[in-house]
Amino acid sequence: MPTENELFSAVDALLEQVAQDDLPSPAERRRLREAAGLTQGQIASALETRRETVANWELGKTEPRPPQRAAYARLLEKLAERFPGPAAEPEVPETETETVADPAVPEPVTEQALEQLASELATAVPVGEAPADAAGSHRPTGDARLSASPRRPGPKKAAKKPAAPAAAADPRFENGPLAVVDVDEDGQVLAYCVGGLVLDVPAKSLPSLIEWTLAEARLGQARLHRNGRDADPVLVLTPAALERYGLPASLSEEERRAGRLPDGHKVVKQLHRAEWKLTKRGFGPWARIYRPAEGSRRQCVQLCIPSWNALDAREWNRRDDPQLPTMHPADLARYLGAFAQRVMTPRGTAAVTGLELMTALRPPTRAEKDPVTGEFKQAFNTDALTAVYDVVECEVPDEHPILKGKFARHHLRTAAEMLMEEPYDWCRPLTDEECTRRYLVAIDINMSFAAAANGLTVGLNGPTHLTGNPAFDPSLPGSWLVDLSHVDLSRVDIAGRTVDGDRLPSPFTPKGETPTGPAWYATPTVAYAVELGFDVAPIEAYVRTQTGRYLDPWYKRLRDAYVATMADLGVTTDLGGQEFLDAMARSKQVDPAMALLAGAIKATAKGGIGKLRQRNRGQVPYYEPWPALARETWRPDIRAAVLANQRIGIHRKLMKTAAAADLYPVAIGTDAIVYPSPGPSPLDVLPHTAEGKPVPGAFRLGVSPGMVKHQGTQTVLWAEEQFEEQGGVFNIANLIKNDPSAGEGE
C-alpha cells in the first residue's frame, strides 16, 4: 500500500498539472513586475529562490513549482489588480533555447515574506526608471579576485570521457557537485569539475577558498527528495593543493590515531579567525567547514583529502593495484562526480554515504502548514525513521550499555540470548562422487545485500514485546524466540522432488549448522520455515507495528547506478551466457575509472547496511554509549532483517538448484557459492531447462542485483591440498577468485 507521503506527492503532482493555467503568461509576469517597479532580486528574495530562477519564469524557460508557485501566483494576482493591462494578445513563442531547470527548495514561502514584498510597493522605483537588477542584467561577480573562469585542462593527460550528465541542470550547481583542487606547473590553483570543466581558483588561503566555493564556484547537488536538503559542495584536495594552503601532505601517527589535525594547527586557527567552524570531528580526512545558516541558506563546504586516507582503498580503490595516487585530477573529478550524480555526493566513507543515502531518499521531516495559525511547522514523515526508540537486548551487540551487568565477564552469548542473523560462512567435505569432478566453480551474487533489501518490509517504530507463546505473524518485522530444530530439509517437497539435506547448509544459522533449541530469529527466517511447510511456535517476540518498505528507493537508486556503470563497461542487462562472461572478463580494462565506480557503488550498498548496527570502535569504554546510538538510523533490527533475507534468498536458490539438477554446494562465503563442476565455467555447472534457459528460481548469470557472475575457478585437487594444509575443512569460498582485488562479499 502507498504511504501517506507518497499519496500527498501524487496529489501535489495532479494539482500542479491542473494549475498550469493559473499564472499569467511569461510576458505578463514581467510587465506586472516592471509596472510595480520591482526587481527580480526583490521577488527572488521574498520567495526564497534565486534571481536567475525568476528570470527563467519571465522568459518561459521554467515554471514555478510548489511551494513558490502558490505564493508567486498570489503576488501576480495582487499586482494585476493594481496595474491592469490591455487585453491579452496571443503569445508569440520564443526561440527554442536550452532550458534551465528550476531548483527545488523545500523551505516554505511565508506569508510574512509576501507582506514584506507588498509593503515595498509604496517605495518601489517609479515606472519608467530602470531597476537595479532588471532582467538581462549581468550576474554579480563580487570581488574580481574570486572569479571562476573556465580553463582547459593542463598538459597532463586528462580524462578521455566526460562524466555522465546530471538528470536535470540546476543553475545553482551548474559546475557540478564537486571539484578536485590541484596546482599546475605554473603554480596556478585549478578546480577540476565534472564534464571536463576547469576553473581558475584565485584563493590564497583556505578560508578564502571556502568563501570562493560558496560565492562563485556554483558547486553542489540538488536534493534527492522534495523534503530533503541540497548537498553541500565537496572540494577534493590533492597533495599539491594541501601544500599551497598550508596543510600537511599526510597525517602524523598521532594525528592518524586522533583522526584529525590538532586544534592549534595554523590552518585551523585561520578558519576560526575568519569565523568558520568545524564539526565535532574536527579537521580530518572528511572535514566539514561551516557558518551557522542564515534562514534557509546553508553555508557549508566539505573537504575530501585522499592522501589522509579519505578514500579508503577497500571501498574506493583497487587494493592490489591502487589507481588513485597517480590519477589525474580531471579523471578523479570524473570518477567522484559520476558517483555523486548516480548515487549522491560523497559524505565520508562509502559506508557513511550509504547510510546518508537512506536519509536523503526518506527524509524524516517535512514542512506542514498549521490550518489554524497558517504558520509552517515541522512534521514527521510516516515512511521514514524519525526517532530513537528503546532497544531490545537480543538485538544489540555485546558492548551496548543495556547489557551492562547482565552477563559474566567474557561471556559469549548464545543464539537463545542474541539475534545471530549473519551471512553464510559454511563449508563441507566433498563426497567421493564430487571428487571425480575436476573443478570447483565459484559464482558470486551481484550486490546481494542491496538485492535483499528490495521489497523488504521493516519496522519504523519502537518494539512491542509479545509474550505467552504469540502466534507468528510474517507481516510484523522484528525478532522471534522460536525452536526450529525440527526442520528437516530432506522432507521438503519441491516440484515433486526432495533433496539431500545433509549436503545443504541449514537456512537458520550462519555456519549452516542445524539449530539445537530455541533461538532468536528475524521475521524473514521464521517466515521461511513456514514457507518450507513446518509449524512454528514462538515463545516470545519483539515486533514493530508501524511498517514500511523503507529501503526500496535506496535499493533502486543503487541498482540504477550499478547497472548504468556496468553498461559503461560494456556489460548490459541483455547479455547472457557466454556473452555475459566475456563482457565481464573485459570490463575492468575498458575504463579504469568506471571500474572503480562499480566497486564504490557495491561498497556503498554493503557499508550502508552495516552502518545500521555500527559498533563501538574504541570511541568510548565498554558499556558506555557511543555516538552512533544517538542516530535514528541506528537500527540493528533492520540490519538483521536484511542479512536474514539475504541468507534465506541464497538457500531458496540452493534448494531449487538441488531439486532441479541434483547439484549441491560445497562452500558458501557471504555471497559466493562454490559448486563442483566437470568444466571451469559457470555454464558447465548451472542447470538449464530443455530449452536452454536457466532453471526458474535457481541461480542465473547476469549483471542485475541478485543475479550471479563468475568469481573464480580452482581444481578439486587444489581444494584437497588446502584442507590438508589446514588440518581439516575450512571455508574455501573466498579463496577462489580470478580477481584478487575482489572483496569478501559485496
Q: What is the pLDDT averaged over residues 600-616?
A: 96
3 state SS of 277: strand
Q: What is the pLDDT averaged over residues 11-18?
A: 50
HSE value, Cβ hemisphere, 13 Å, CA-based, for 290: 18
Q: What is the pLDDT averaged over residues 687-693?
A: 88
pLDDT at 447 over 60: yes
pLDDT at 60 over 80: no
Per-residue pLDDT at 69: 83
Answer yes or no: do 106 and 156 share one domain. Answer: no
**Other CB atoms within 10 A of residue 513 CB:** 12
- Determine which of 91-105, 290-304, 405-419 has the lowest per-residue pLDDT on average: 91-105
Q: How far apart are CA 124 and CA 32, in angstroms?
A: 13
pTM of the model: 0.78
What's the residue count for the chain? 746
Per-residue pLDDT at 125: 35
Answer yes or no: do 50 and 168 share one domain. Answer: no
Q: Return the C-alpha cell found at 165.
A: 550528465
- Determine which of 62-66, 384-388, 525-529, 667-671 has the lowest per-residue pLDDT on average: 62-66
Q: What is the pLDDT averaged over residues 407-426?
A: 94
**Domain assignment present for 168:** yes
Q: How far apart are CA 706 and CA 450, in angstroms?
A: 8
- Determine which of 23-37, 443-457, 477-491 has the lowest per-residue pLDDT on average: 23-37
Answer yes or no: do 215 and 98 share one domain. Answer: no
Task: Give the tens place of pLDDT for each residue, 137-164.
Answer: 333 333 333 344 455 444 444 444 444 4
Task: Give the tens place of pLDDT for each residue, 188-204.
Answer: 999 999 999 999 999 99
Q: What percent of the chain has pLDDT over 70?
A: 84
Q: How far apart are CA 470 and CA 412, in angstroms?
A: 28
Q: Apex CA 645: angle with CA 711 and CA 634, to 5°?
A: 105
H helix and E strand count, the chain: 21, 21
Answer yes or no: do 193 and 303 share one domain. Answer: yes
Instruction: Report the domain count for the chain.
Output: 2
Answer yes or no: do 337 and 296 share one domain. Answer: yes
Per-residue pLDDT at 4: 59
Q: How far apart are CA 556 and CA 453, in angstroms?
A: 10
Q: What is the pLDDT averaged over residues 499-520?
A: 95
Answer yes or no: do 115 and 153 share one domain. Answer: no
- Determine which of 21-25, 109-113, 377-381 has the lowest per-residue pLDDT on average: 109-113
pLDDT level of residue 739 (50, 70, 90 thresholds) = low
**Other CB atoms within 10 A of residue 74 CB:** 14
Answer yes or no: do 112 and 160 share one domain. Answer: no
Answer yes or no: do 257 and 117 share one domain. Answer: no
SS (H, E, C) 161-206: CCCCCCCCCCHHHCCCCEEEEEECCCCCEEEECHHHCEEECCCCCH
Of 723, 724, 721, 745, residue with least CA distance to 668? 745
Of 240, 398, 214, 204, residue with least CA distance to 302? 214
162: phi then psi, degrees, rounded to nearest 5: -75, 160
Domain limit, last residue, from 321, 348, 375: 348
Q: What is the pLDDT averaged over residues 643-658?
A: 96
Per-residue pLDDT at 8: 56
User: Going by C-beta distance under 8 Å and a sequence separation of 6 or more, which residues neighbour residue 496?
Assistant: none
- Determine which of 110-114, 323-327, 386-390 has the lowest per-residue pLDDT on average: 110-114
**Domain assignment present for 663:** no
pLDDT at 82 over 50: yes
Q: Does 108 sit behind a cis peptide bond, omega within 30 degrees of 0 on the bond before it?
A: no
Per-residue pLDDT at 27: 85
Task: Give the tens place of pLDDT for each residue, 363-372.
Answer: 999 988 888 8
Of 437, 156, 191, residue with least CA distance to 301? 191
Range of the domain at 311: 144-348
Per-residue pLDDT at 79: 87
Do 162 and 194 meet the contact criterion of CB atoms below 8 Å apart? yes
Q: Is the dihedral of CA 641, 646, 652, 654 positive or negative?
A: negative
Q: Is the dihedral of CA 603, 608, 609, 615 positive or negative?
A: positive
3 state SS of 521: strand
Q: Return the C-alpha cell found at 140.
A: 554579480
**Domain assignment present for 469:** no
Per-residue pLDDT at 170: 82
pLDDT level of residue 130 (50, 70, 90 thresholds) = very low
pLDDT level of residue 375 (50, 70, 90 thresholds) = confident
Q: Which residues pair with 278 in a beta bridge?
A: 289
Per-residue pLDDT at 96: 33
**Higher per-residue confidence, 19 vs 476:** 476
Answer yes or no: do 32 and 111 share one domain. Answer: yes
**Domain assignment present for 215:** yes
**Domain assignment present for 108:** yes
Domain limit, last residue, from 314, 348, 382: 348
Answer yes or no: do 150 and 71 share one domain. Answer: no
Q: What is the pLDDT averaged over residues 233-262?
A: 95
pLDDT level of residue 134 (50, 70, 90 thresholds) = very low
- Determine which of 11-15, 421-425, 493-497, 648-652 has the lowest per-residue pLDDT on average: 11-15
**Higher per-residue confidence, 617 vs 346:** 346
Domain limit, last residue, from 65, 90, 123: 123
From first CA to last CA, the distance across the chain in angstroms is 30
Per-residue pLDDT at 298: 84
Q: What percent of the chain has pLDDT over 90?
A: 66
Per-residue pLDDT at 495: 80
The one-letter amino acid code at 174 reads E
Answer yes or no: do 182 and 295 share one domain. Answer: yes
Q: How far apart are CA 215 and CA 301, in angstroms?
A: 11
Of 730, 85, 737, residue with least CA distance to 426? 730
Q: What is the pLDDT averaged over residues 233-239?
A: 97
Answer yes or no: do 91 and 223 share one domain. Answer: no
- Report DSSP state, residue 715: E
User: Going by C-beta distance under 8 Å and a sequence separation of 6 or more, which residues neighbour residue 373?
Assistant: none
Task: Give the tens place of pLDDT for each residue, 548-597.
Answer: 999 999 999 999 999 999 999 999 999 989 999 999 999 988 999 999 99
User: Going by C-beta distance under 8 Å and a sequence separation of 6 or more, which residues neighbour residue 436?
Assistant: none
Rg (CA), the chain: 29
**Domain assignment present for 504:** no
**Domain assignment present for 625:** no
pLDDT at 124 over 60: no
**Domain assignment present for 401:** no
Task: Give the tens place of pLDDT for each residue, 15-52.
Answer: 454 444 468 888 888 888 888 888 887 888 888 887 77
For the chain, the average pLDDT equals: 85
Per-residue pLDDT at 297: 75
Q: How far apart are CA 549 and CA 638, in angstroms?
A: 11
Per-residue pLDDT at 10: 57
**Higher per-residue confidence, 727 vs 91:** 727
